[in-house]
Each structure stands twice: as C-alpha cells, then as structure tokens.
Structure 1
C-alpha cells in the first residue's frame, strides 16, 4: 500500500493509491493521519470504497496519479532521528571502524522539504554542501523500550530521504547537528510504502545522481544496524510515536569522501531513487538572502 500527501486547491490532504488514482483520507497530511491511530483502517476503507472522507480533495473519485502533485508527506513529525555511519563502505570512506552502537543525531521538522521542492541554500551554507541518499523509516505505533520484533511490527513503512549536509559546519565540532539541521534541506518522500509491501532487510537498492552522474549505489541489506534494530535502540531512551521518522544512514559515494572532495553548486539537480520507493528530485538554489 502507498500513502502520500498531495497538494489540492485548498492545501494538502493525505491519500492512498488505488491503481491509477489517489484517494483522499480525510486528514490534511500523513502526519495527522498517522497520529490519529487508525490510519490503516482508514486507508483500507478508502480502498474498499467505504471511506466517508472521499470528498476532501474535491473529487469523490480521487485524483489521477499523473495529475497529482506530491507534497512533503510528513510535515509535522515529533521526532526526526538520524543514524550516521551505517553502511560499511561509507564507514570505510570516512576512515572509521565499524561501530558497536549506532551514531545518532537529530533533525527538526523544519529541516524537511518535499520530494521535488527546490532547496534554497543561504550564503552561510554554500561552501561544502553534500548529498546523502537514505532509507527513512516511519513509525506507525507507540514504542517504548521495544525489542526488535516489537519494533519491526511497529513500523508503518518506508520512504526516501536525502540528508543534505553542510560539511564545513558539521566539521566545526564533534557534534554534527549544526551541519545537518538547516531549514528545508532534507527532501523526504515521495510516498510512504507500508511495511507489508517492502522489506529493507531483503535488500533495497538506493542510488543518488548529481546532474545525471551516478554518485551512490548502495543496498539496505548491507546496513550495519537494520531498520528494526534502529527503531528498537532509539525506543530505549525516548518514546516513539506514529509519524516519527528515523533516517538509517547513507552508503558510500558522498562528496566529502571523494579525492578531491566534490560538493554541490547552484543549479545542480540531485536525484535519489530506490526500488519500490520512487524518486526524489531536488534542484539546489544558492540564495542571496540570509
């Protein structure tokens, strides 16, 4: 099952895909849908034609897939937690040993942006701007101190992310936050593919291209810490609730690891794709405004 947040004449709405149409689900976006708690029942009712919210998008029959504009699917997560150094090849290119525990940092909801939105980069961040294609895990149930099996059962699904990183700021201290949390620089989406439809432990190929040039080519079966293991680990120290997001790390091929390093410039287009999860395509715009 695929869920999304689509743009409408009146704003946005959560929707579920039925063949060639997006059916509205009576919530303004996926953050609100997941927080309601009965998101799966709501989506299944829409697919069965028994949903009372079908008119939210202004069309009882839904919106044709080819005409729908996909927005940021989760605009209001309470938590966005990220794992760094989780693919063996990326760990090697960064000159580090395989970790015993996940390396974690946080983002904020303000950091996220849509799957095709332009990324406006302020002057202070225009020095060493890097790409990081990632698998994002979306939590679908409240989890506290969960074991790995409970965590796996509590995953709503998966989507793509691009952890655009400002490396010169990231390298200022041992703490990464200031290089990772710039407003509207982390594309997320384009859709939420539910966990019963895709299995990252079986392997999902993830790629990143910059202006058509392949930079990253990884597979989630090589993650050091699996999606379920990360969810379980994080739930030990903070409660996770429906709509929270966990980014699982990036494979090798980032600009910082190249010899010499290569970074993004004004006008570059970064495309992140994965088998069964779709595509993010975002153009970099260097802004003159602070």
Structure 2
C-alpha cells in the first residue's frame, strides 16, 4: 500500500493507493482514521491501522483522486536530518574520503515540498544541484537507543527524496556552510508515497535521477556506507528523533558537483526515483521572477 496526501498546498487530505495488476490502482480516503499523515498517526500504529481498515473494507473510495495535486506524503516534519557522503563513490567525486562516522546536518522542515511542485532556483544561484535519496520516516521516538536492532523498530517507512543543494552556498572556505546550501525553499521534495517499512526492503532499492531526460545517477541502497537502522541509531545519540521526522540517507554519485554535468538552470526538468517508492518530476524556475 502507498500512503499519500492529496490536494492543494495546506489543504491536503490523507489517502492510500492500492496498486492493482495491470491497472492504475484504487484510492481510498484515510479520513475515517486520521485528519493527516503526521507524527501522532504514525506513533499510534497508523500504517497497521490502514492495512486493517483496507482488509475490513472500512475506507471509502476516493473518487477523482487522479486529478488532485500530490503533496508530500506526510505532514510537515518536526526535523529533517540529512546525511552527507554516505556512498563511497559520491564521497570520491566530492573530493573526500569515505566517512568513518556518519556526516550529519539539518534542513529546515519548511523546505519540504511535493514531488511534482514547481521547484524554485534561488535568485543568485549558479551551482544548484540534485540529489536522489532514500528518506527514512520515523514512527516512534528514538533517543539514546541502545542498539541498531532497536532502531529498526523506529522506522515507520520510506519515501523518495531529493536533497536539492546550492554548492556555492554550501562549500566555501575550509569549514563549509552546509546549512546555507541546504535550507532553500522547496529544496526537499518528498514522495509521492510513503511505503511502510515492513512492505519493502529499504536496503536493496534502486535510485536513479535524470535532468532533461538524460540519466545522471543510478545506484542501489545496498551501497550505503551506513544503512538506515545504523543512521537512526547514530542520530539518536545526539538528538531526539520524533514520529514524523525524516532522515535523508545520502546521495550516490552522479551529481553536478562531480564536474561531469552542468548545474541546474531555470527551465530544467529534474526527475528522481527510488524504485518502489515512486518517481518525482520537478520543473525549475528562477525564484523572484514573474511574480514568483
């Protein structure tokens, strides 16, 4: 099952899409269960409740769902935690050795956007970059966890993510300014779906990206240096992860920072996909132009 939020920005309604063989799938409203897909819903065993309600035929079919905007699959997280250089090949193309411990940074939660929303390029940006990533959705509080196994139980599900990054803002000087390069409006598109962790193998998913139809990244989450549960365990030693938070697990090689591809420009179309979690399509525009 694929948990979604459908509707205009700020007015999304919770839904679930159930794929059907050879067909587009059927959509059902989750309003009988919850007003939104948020931390409280996930912490209360929300994904299990959805599964039970579907099996019992308790959810009304959502007519016209295909015509609605697809929003982020969960309401605005309390925290968005980013992981840097978590693929050895990406670390190499960035000019760094593979990290011995996870590289952790934070993104403001107001950077979260829908998977098909127009994507703003900052007014003075010249090095805007794409990053396809597996996103972890936290389902229960994680603080000072004692083991990686305990961390596994804190993962509610997974989403496709794009960690759009302005490298000129992120990397000047010896210390870098990661927050500046990772905090731009609309720079964390999520979705289209949230898939429960017990319905997909987050450790063996293919990630791909394209710019204007040309392939850029192609890797698998099996190549992560630090896997999903290890990241949740590690982060829990330094911060409290709460239900509804998102951890971005890092991007594989094939970004513009490598020097092999041009940076993004207004008018470009960026697509990213994690197989099984859905594909995004973003049309870029220059923020501040034409009243935007």
The answer to whether the superposition gives a TM-score over 0.5 is yes
TM-score, normalised on structure 2?
A: 0.89
2:219 aligned with 1:218: yes
Offset at residue 42 of structure 1 (A) = 2.8
8 Å contact from structure 1 (residues 148, 229) kept in 2: yes
Show the counterpart of 1:57: none
TM-score, normalised on structure 1?
A: 0.90
Separation of aligned partners in 2, 1:3 and 1:245: 15
Offset at residue 9 of structure 1 (A) = 11
Unaligned runs of 5+ in 1: 55-59
Relative to 1, partners in 2 of residues 1:227 and 1:262: Cα closer, same or farther, differing over 3 Å?
A: same
Offset at residue 65 of structure 1 (A) = 5.6
Aligned length: 280
Relative to 1, partners in 2 of residues 1:209 and 1:282: Cα closer, same or farther, differing over 3 Å?
A: same
- Of 42, 46, 54, 1:39 maps to 46
2:30 aligned with 1:29: no
Show the counterpart of 1:82: 82
Offset at residue 33 of structure 1 (A) = 5.6
Separation of aligned partners in 1, 2:249 and 2:74: 17
2:205 aligned with 1:204: yes
Separation of aligned partners in 2, 1:179 and 1:75: 23
Offset at residue 269 of structure 1 (A) = 0.4
Show the counterpart of 2:73: 73
What pairs up with 1:149-164 in 2 under 5 angstroms? 149-164=149-164
Unaligned runs of 5+ in 2: 20-24
Relative to 1, partners in 2 of residues 1:4 and 1:210: Cα closer, same or farther, differing over 3 Å?
A: same
Show the counterpart of 2:18: 18
8 Å contact from structure 2 (residues 76, 112) kept in 1: no
Q: Please provide the CA RMSD for this pair.
A: 2.1
What pairs up with 1:1-290 in 2 under 5 angstroms? 1-7=1-7, 11-19=11-19, 20-26=25-31, 27-31=34-38, 34=41, 37-49=44-56, 51=58, 54=59, 60-63=60-63, 66-124=66-124, 126-146=125-145, 147-173=147-173, 174-201=176-203, 203-259=204-260, 262-288=262-288
Offset at residue 200 of structure 1 (A) = 2.3
Offset at residue 14 of structure 1 (A) = 1.3
Relative to 1, partners in 2 of residues 1:8 and 1:165: Cα closer, same or farther, differing over 3 Å?
A: closer
Separation of aligned partners in 2, 1:76 and 1:66: 23
